[in-house]
Structure 1
Amino acid sequence: MRKVRVLPLIVATALFMENMDSTVISTSLPMIALDLGTDPIALKLALTSYLVSLAIFIPISGWMADKYGARTIFTAAIAVFMAGSLASAGADSLAGFVIARFVQGMGGAMMVPVGRLVILRSVSRNEVVQALALLTIPALVGPVVGPPLGGFITTYFHWRWIFFINIPIGVLGIVLATMYVPNIREDDTPPLDVAGFLLSGLGLALLMLGLASGGRHLIPESVSLACVVIGTISVAAYVWHAKRTPHPVLRLDLLKVPTFAISVVGGSLFRVGVGSIPFLLPLMLQIGFGLSPVASGSLTFIAAVGALFMKTMAKRILERFGFRRVLIANAFIGAAFIAFHGLFTATTPHWLIMLILLIGGCFRSLQFTSLNAIAYAEVSKRDMSHATSLSSAVQQVALSVGVAFGAFAVEATAHWHGRSAIAAEDFGPAFWAVAAVSALAGFVFARLEPTAGAEMSGHRALEQKPPATGLGDGTTNLGEEVERR
């Protein structure tokens, strides 16, 4: 029981730092763009560069933890994140800011997946939901504090100071991890799949860079298109490579495990909509409605309050309804609340905006708690490092796609109306577009069995059905086979 309480709280220090950092930056985007002399939409590159870095280095996070020890990699990752924070504070151009955020992503790629791996390998299956909930409760304090704090610092001081907040938090995380986190490692770690790492890293980086840089920002359209083409070819080459190497950096065969595959695919669709919110919402409130950063942050923080509240109820809800019903219902409800963002106007009462953000935060929080647990219901502890690496990498790609897709929708709407600059009415269609993508996740979650993840949730469905099949044709339930490996 002590592990269930202590380890999640320590890992949550890193999550707190990362989540607060992202929400602080989101609130400050318009002022950062003004100071750097660039279009606010161009700062999608700063958000996606961080997510791209995560996608590149997350695949080797599990291998490095197995090889060198979880505590060693976890503490080193915090140090790299702090270095990236200092570089972000000193950036004086869009290119410099994008590169600094990439360095931050290198640290973030190791912090959260390795921390989650320590928890998954240290607690029993029936304690996973509780441990993950404890992990995210302190971490959600970051998004609660981040928007108003970022708005206050940006409005009354300077946006560069927001990055110095990470330094004392990072030092505390390193000290606690050194004292309490076990240096879990594997004795028979296979060699690193260098070719696979290069193919997956290059493919994901170029693909996301191409999607995010479309338009008039930083690089020409022809270069953006070339990045998409080469990135797609590299990702396809990795899929071919992974089937032919004994120890691929990303274990795609884990997608044959039904609950893991459904969580990855459905979760990715849902995260496209959610990933766009930190980018679109502050821009709409500040650029579209004319609010100050501090006023904007004082509204948006309430979503994290709702998420924090829901974490205390997630386990009881899952025990009552089970993963399948919760995930299906939440996909549609969560998507609806994303769509509601598009109905906001400059005259919408602030109390109504906060109420919708609060309730939407509750449902999104329950969805992510459920997704993070059900993904590992049939994965053996030996395969946890591979599963967390693959799941985390796909999550970051989905969030990056959300930012790029949301930015594209805003720019496309402005172009449709014959404007070169974005206006308040351009954000509604963007929110509706990303919400439609998130809603598609409900149809994927419908493929779960009523008893899926019952050992974790404590739910026992009345109706028993045959084992679920995988997402691809001819695949079978390989949960037991994976468990034997």
Structure 2
Amino acid sequence: MIVAVPMFLQAVDTSILGTALPSIAASLNVEILRLNFAITAYLLSLALFLPASGWIMDRFGTRHVFCAAVAIFSLASALCGAATSVTQIVLFRILQGLGGAMMVPVGRLILLRSIPPGQLIVAMLWFTVPGTIGRVVGPLLGGFIVTLASWRWIFLLNIPFGVLGILLSLKFVPDAQSGKAGRFDFTGFMLMAVGLSGLICGLETIGRNFVSLSATILVTSIGIVASICYWIYSRDRDDVIIPLSIFGHRAFSITNIGGVPVRIVVGSAPIFVPLLLQIGMGFTPIQSGLTSAWLSVGAFVIRPIMRHAINKFGFKPLMITATVLSGAAFSVNGLYSPGTSIYFMCAVLFVAGVANSLAMVTMNTVGFSGVGKQIMSKATVLSTMMQQTSMSLGVALFAYCLSITARAHGHSAEDLTMSDFPMAFFIVGGLSCLSVAAFSRLPANEGAELR
């Protein structure tokens, strides 16, 4: 529970920001979709710095890295609260991502190294409880804060929790240090960083008026070339920062590569559902927070029975069912109208929360089936990196769809209306079908040793 404090911080940070985006945009006098950079910058920063986190943990020890990461995250959050422009928020969110990239893998790695396989499901469930609580309280806090005070307090709120996490870690978290950090693969790190940032930034800016088309093409091309270079550089090598041979494990590759579409859906919901409620349907921030919180209530309610469901039905059937429900519930958001019952919307979000939680827990657990302990550290980092990259792709893709539909309706993305949202929800929600096809390739008894 202590090492899961970062899950709580990140969950509150993401869910609270989704509710507060309209207020921040109005305060800074910017187009609301331009604030999408603040979300994408954080997720992208997480993905960029995650590859180095495994080496840093091995080199400096878990306790030191964990406490330093929480301190960086909290400091950057305070700086976001003092920002006076979108550029400053984006830069400070990148710094937040640096802290977040080192926080989360520490906890997951401690669990995977120390918990027997037969108890891993229970451990993962408890590990995700603080994050689930954070996603429940985040929209509520966001709604009340921007209504009763300034949006800046949504960032300052992280500071006391960060201090608490540091104090508890100093007392209870063991300072494990493997002493086998070895050489830091700077070349691989740079190639991977340039590749990921180029691809994400290219998707983020394509079709938008933020930068020129030639700049978008240039950045995307650099990302593609760097990614290809890393693939060539790391092929048949185990001493690189992230060995791609890890994808040779079938369950790992299916859940992490095949799971990208459903992770896009899961990552988009906490950001764009509150945006739909406030911009499209005219909800107040408090109303939006109370409604979108049902997404997290569903995720919390399913926790007590999830282990029994996995033991009874197995990982594969639950993953497929959860993915179908997740995509369908996300798409239903595109059917709302000003006359839609609030109770119906809450029910849809509740179902989506149940499905999202079940999909993420089963993927994050069965994905490590058959992965040896000698590569568990790098596999953990790679899995977390894939998850964060998928979520940043989802945010960028949804924002791009909104921009396209807004222009098709004869206005800019600065003046979003209810009619701009349905197509984005349908397209992103429909992507989950690709994950269903991937999960169907898993053997029926995959992960049996973990049950």
Structure-1-length-normalised TM-score = 0.90
What does the per-residue CA deviation read over 1:444-470, in whole Å, with 9 as the maximum and x for residues that have no partner?
00111111000112xxxxxxxxxxxxx
The reply to whether residue 293 of structure 1 matches residue 289 of structure 2 is no
Question: Does residue 333 of structure 2 align to residue 341 of structure 1?
Answer: yes
| 1:377 has 2:369 as partner | yes
Shift of 1:208: 1.1
Q: 1:191 maps to what in 2?
A: 183
Contact 2:208 2:400 survives alignment (8 Å):
no
Task: Tell me the distance in 1 between the aligned counterparts of 2:165 and 2:239.
Answer: 32
RMSD value, Cα: 1.2
Aligned with 2:314: secondary structure? helix
How far apart, in 1, do the equivalents of 2:430 and 2:423 lie? 11
- 1:144-223 maps to which residues of 2 (within 5 A)? 144-216=136-208, 218-223=210-215
1:406 is matched with which residue?
398
Q: 1:424 aligned to 2:403?
A: no
1:233 aligned to 216, 225, 230, which one?
225
Structure 1 counterpart of 2:104: 112
Q: Secondary structure of 2:108's match? A: helix
Matching of residue 262 in structure 1 with residue 251 in structure 2: no
Q: Which residue of 2 aligns with 1:442?
A: 436
Query: What is the CA-CA distance between 1:216 and the residue it aligns to?
Result: 4.2
Instruction: Confirm or deny that 1:453 pairs with 2:428.
Output: no
1:76 paired residue number = 68
Whether 1:101 and 2:93 are equivalent positions in the alignment is yes
Show the counterpart of 1:476: none
Structure 2 gap ranges (5+):
none
Q: Which moved more, 1:126-135 or 1:175-184?
A: 175-184
Using the TM superposition, give the Cα deviation of residue 219 of structure 1 relative to its aligned residue in structure 2, in angstroms: 3.1
In 1, the alpha carbon distance for the partners of 2:329 and 2:301 equals: 17
In structure 2, the residue matched to 1:54 is 46
Deviation of 1:268 (Å): 1.1
State the 1:192 CA deviation: 0.9
Measured after TM superposition, the shift of residue 215 of structure 1 is 4.2
Deviations 1:415-469 (A, max 9, x none): 2222223210111110110011122101100111111000112xxxxxxxxxxxx
Single out whichever of 255-264 and 202-211 deviates more from structure 2.
202-211
Q: Shift of residue 185 of structure 1?
A: 2.2
Displacement, 1:355? 0.9
Within 2, Cα distance between the matches of 1:206 and 1:171? 35
1:300-349 CA-partner distances (Å, limit 9, x unpaired)? 01111110111111111110011111111221121111111111122111
Q: Secondary structure at the match of 1:11?
A: coil
Task: Name the SS for the 1:91 alignment partner.
Answer: coil
Cα distance in structure 2, aligned partners of 1:37 and 1:395: 32
CA distance in 2, matches of 1:383, 1:376: 11
CA distance in 2, matches of 1:13, 1:56: 22
Q: Secondary structure at the match of 1:301?
A: helix
Aligned to 1:475: none
What residue identity is the alignment partner of 1:429?
M
Query: What amino acid sits opposite 2:157 in the alignment?
Result: I
Q: SS at the partner of 1:419? A: coil
Q: Deviation of residue 36 (structure 1)?
A: 1.2
Q: Structure 2 CA distance, aligned partners of 1:119 and 1:99?
A: 32
Partner Cα distance (2:241, 2:338) in 1: 48
Contact 1:118–1:184 under 8 Å retained in 2: no
Unaligned runs of 5+ in 1: 1-8, 458-485
Map residues 17-56 of structure 1 onto 2, 5 A cutoff: 17-56=9-48
Conserved 8 A contact 1:136-1:311: no
Letter in 2 for 1:224: T
State percent identity of aligned pairs: 37
Q: How many angstroms does 1:413 deviate by? A: 1.2
**Number of matched pairs:** 449
Deviations 1:362-386 (CA, angstroms, capped at 9, x unpaired): 1110111101101111111221111
Q: TM-score scaled to structure 2, two decimals? A: 0.97
CA distance 1:343–1:191, shift in 2 (3 Å): same
Return the alpha-carbon distance in structure 1 between the equivalents of residues 136 and 91 of structure 2. Answer: 27
Can you list the C-alpha shifts for 1:283-315, whole angstroms capped at 9, x where unaligned?
A: 211111111111111100111111011111111
1:364 counterpart letter in structure 2 = N
- Residue deviations 1:68-107, cap 9 Å, x none? 1112111111011011101110111111111111111111
- In structure 2, C-alpha distance between the alignment counterparts of 1:432 and 1:218, rounded to whole Å: 25
Name the aligned partner's letter for residue 19 of structure 1. Answer: A
Amino acid at match of 1:76: A
**Alignment partner, residue 368 of structure 1:** 360
Q: Describe the shift of the 1:218–1:99 C-alpha distance in structure 2 as closer, same or farther (beyond 3 A).
A: farther
Within a 5 Å distance, the mapping from 1:300-379 to structure 2 comes to: 300-379=292-371
Which whole-Å CA distance do the structure 2 matches of 1:353 and 1:268 have between them? 26
What's the secondary structure of 1:10's corresponding residue?
Answer: coil
* Counterpart code for 1:163: F
Cα displacement (A) at 1:206: 2.1
CA-CA distance at 1:203 after TM superposition: 1.3
Aligned to 1:461: none
Which SS does the other structure have where 2:411 is aligned? coil
Distance 1:321 1:244 in 2: 37
On the 8 A contact 2:25/2:32 being kept in 1, the answer is yes
Partners of 2:136 and 2:98 lie apart in 1 by 24
- Matched residues in 1 for 2:139 and 2:321: separation? 29
Name the residue aligned to 1:433: 427
